[in-house]
Structure 1
Amino acid sequence: MADTFEGKYTTDFFHQFINIVQAEYPAFDSHKFMNLIHDDDWEMKKFKQRIRHISTSLRTTLPTSYCEALSILIKIAPTCKGVEYLFLPDFVEVYGLDDWQASIHGLEVLTEFSSAEFAVRPFILKDPQKMMDQMLKWANHANPHIRRLASEGCRPRLPWASALGIYKLDPSPILPILNLLKQDPSVYVQKSVANNLNDIAKDHPELVKRLAREWHGESSITDWIIKHGCRGLLRKGDAEVLFLFGFDNSPDVTIQELALGKVRLAIGQTLDFAFTIQTTSTAPQKLRIEYAIDFVKANGATSRKLFKITERTFEKESHRYTRNHHFKDLTTRKHYPGQHKLAVIINGKELATTEFCVER
């Protein structure tokens, strides 16, 4: 369990954390805290459940005054770096909604060390205009962690977080923030802006395509952001987006000798496959090469997932690609037995397919 997120919360971790807190707040009751943490349900809790459980346990063992308790967390924050300390901004999320000034300052400090992207969302839902005005200010902040919070916190479909339905319906309040950050020098911020655009594109593809056309060519940074932000549209083979980034919608190319290493494999094994791309055009062609697998789901239906292999400009040539795909169960994907399909995709077009069987 040590290699999982929830496995980070070992007894040694808590003893170390207790020492950090007691250095700032000597009255911290370590025995009470540990008893609260290791209740009857602790072993059953997932990562985010453990985060919330730790923050509620802190509320019982820190000073009763929210501002006093938050002050302690702010002071220890520089020593508490990493995803395992997400319970610090979670404390603000749970207990700070009624103290705007103290909580906003707390989120600004804590986000640099453990990220407040989840914690800001209840503040958005409580007062969208006020919070988005604040995030617009954060977008101009000197600290890249705080600028990233401005974008990441308002993503309509942030993973591990409840969706922001108001911005799934109307993402226009997000756009001034993204516009400010579209040439941000921090790669950390650039990735967040792109991910926000990708979220928006799932509900408003035409809006994102319009932004992509308007922003394209402003700078190499902006071009990277919009391309990464349009990755979902590229995977869907959207003709406008493909054309914007220089991919021919009808590439002069064929797929030959698509072959599998085996046609039957067990869950946990690896599928080896290979294919040859043959181009015949005398003009250079920019090709985006992907493979797709139609995975069998628990109900027997299939769901397609695309995996990028490469994109580059091809002259008149042939090229052999050899790849493998692991069918090991992950926290993000569980495999089921049944007939699967593998497809080779070029510039959004399915050009060759073959089938294989996955067994238990």
Structure 2
Amino acid sequence: MADLKDHVNDASITRLATAVARVHPAFPSADFVTAARRGLEPLALKQRVSAVSAQLATFLPQSFPHAAQVLREAVAATPLDMWSGWPATDYIAVHGLEHPDDALAALAALTPHATAEFAIRPYLARHPERTLAQLHQWAADPDQHLRRLASEGSRPRLPWASRVPTLADPQVTLPLLDRLHDDPEPYVRRSVANHLNDITKDHPDVALATARRWSASGGEGTAWVVRHALRSLIKQGHPEALGLLGFDHGVDVTVTDLSVTPDTLAIGGQVTIAFTLTADSDVRAAVDYVVHYAGARGARAPKVFKLTTATLEPGLPRQVTRRHTFQHVSIRQLYPGPHRVDIQVNGRVLAGADIVLRDGH
């Protein structure tokens, strides 16, 4: 599987150059492509985007308003994709801060081709009132990409993006989410859910109050948004979040016959988790498993994995099985040593088993 960075390549650079030259014949396409591809190979993804963006700044008109107009005309004539368009949004993020009106207009043109969620952040930091006013306009726009940008670009914890102090206050962006939580497009609603999930991490009471308010008046689309937005609190076993979604934190559920096999395995190997759930009354159960990973210097914070949602009936045991692979991923380095797997139902840990990871080499 190709690394994401490899999508910023000769083809994406050439596509961007072709689009610009089609509307601005003075643009030296060949020189731009040669300069932009030079030294690209060892760079990581965002470094590649920045490198191509820097060359775009060299070869576009030096007047930013003129350059921004060229980019708007370019994407109107030649559609770009994420990889060819990202350097263009990055160029605007870096070079347009003294011209917010021109910059925001260019980002509006580019975001349907290459999301401008990262590029909008410097404008929220430097020109918060002007940019937030623009986000409110975009939240009512017929284009779903602009409506999504209003939510995604203003997320307080947007991955890979710079933090914007203004966005630490949830009251700044909640009016946007109020407008978008029942949007007809799942693409937009997913962003709203992720945005509210960000808020749960710093202001859980505000997020829960918002979720309750939406649940009282929204449709099925909103119901999905609320479920997805509260996922972090659900994994933490937050009683109020569980109750809002119909799970009783205090109800009696029993876990029996838990096995995690094999109990010793090499890194890269797989275990099978199996157990039985029983209850004395009808219970709606959110079932998760929790892995306590060993770290280089002791245990690390546990990681909760979604397992299933089940309705348990008295006298009807429910068997649950799941396989879990202990392998290195980009966000988690594994270490040999003792690990633990717990079973969590409606936020309560009800059973657990220990296993040992060996070095796979």
1:49 is paired with a residue whose SS is: helix
1:113 is paired with a residue whose SS is: coil
The worse-fitting range, judged by mean Cα deviation, of 314-323 and 195-204 is 314-323
Give the structure-2-normalised TM-score.
Answer: 0.92
Aligned counterpart, 1:122:
122
Q: Is the 8 A contact 1:217 1:223 kept in 2?
A: no
Identical positions, percent: 35
Q: How does 1:138-217 map to 2 (within 5 A)?
A: 138-168=138-168, 170-217=169-216
Partners of 2:303 and 2:172 lie apart in 1 by: 31
Aligned counterpart, 1:294:
292
Q: Is the 8 A contact 2:13 2:84 kept in 1?
A: no
Aligned counterpart, 2:44:
46
Aligned counterpart, 1:65:
63
1:306 is paired with a residue whose SS is: strand
Q: Is the 8 A contact 2:8 2:83 kept in 1?
A: no
**Structure 1 residues 9 and 226: CA distance shift in structure 2, 3 A:** same
2:293 is paired with a residue whose SS is: strand
Letter in 1 for 2:100: W
Partners of 1:8 and 1:272 lie apart in 2 by: 36
Quote how far apart the aligned CAs of 1:73 are.
2.2
Q: CA RMSD in A?
A: 1.8
Q: Which runs of 4+ in 1 moved over 6 A?
A: none
Q: How does 1:1-360 map to 2 (within 5 A)?
A: 3-40=2-39, 42-77=40-75, 78-83=78-83, 85-168=85-168, 170-219=169-218, 220-281=220-281, 284-316=282-314, 317-360=316-359
Structure 2 residue runs of 5 or longer lacking an equivalent are none
The worse-fitting range, judged by mean Cα deviation, of 98-107 and 22-31 is 22-31
Letter in 2 for 1:167: L
1:79 is paired with a residue whose SS is: coil
**Structure 1 residues 73 and 266: CA distance shift in structure 2, 3 A:** farther
**Structure 1 residues 119 and 38: CA distance shift in structure 2, 3 A:** same
Partners of 2:254 and 2:172 lie apart in 1 by: 45
Post-superposition Cα deviations, 1:199-219, rounded to whole Å, max 9, x if no partner, equal 111111111111122222312
2:255 is paired with a residue whose SS is: strand
The worse-fitting range, judged by mean Cα deviation, of 48-57 and 217-226 is 217-226
Quote how far apart the aligned CAs of 1:83 are.
4.8
Structure 1 residue runs of 5 or longer lacking an equivalent are none
The worse-fitting range, judged by mean Cα deviation, of 294-303 and 110-119 is 294-303
How many residues are matched?
355
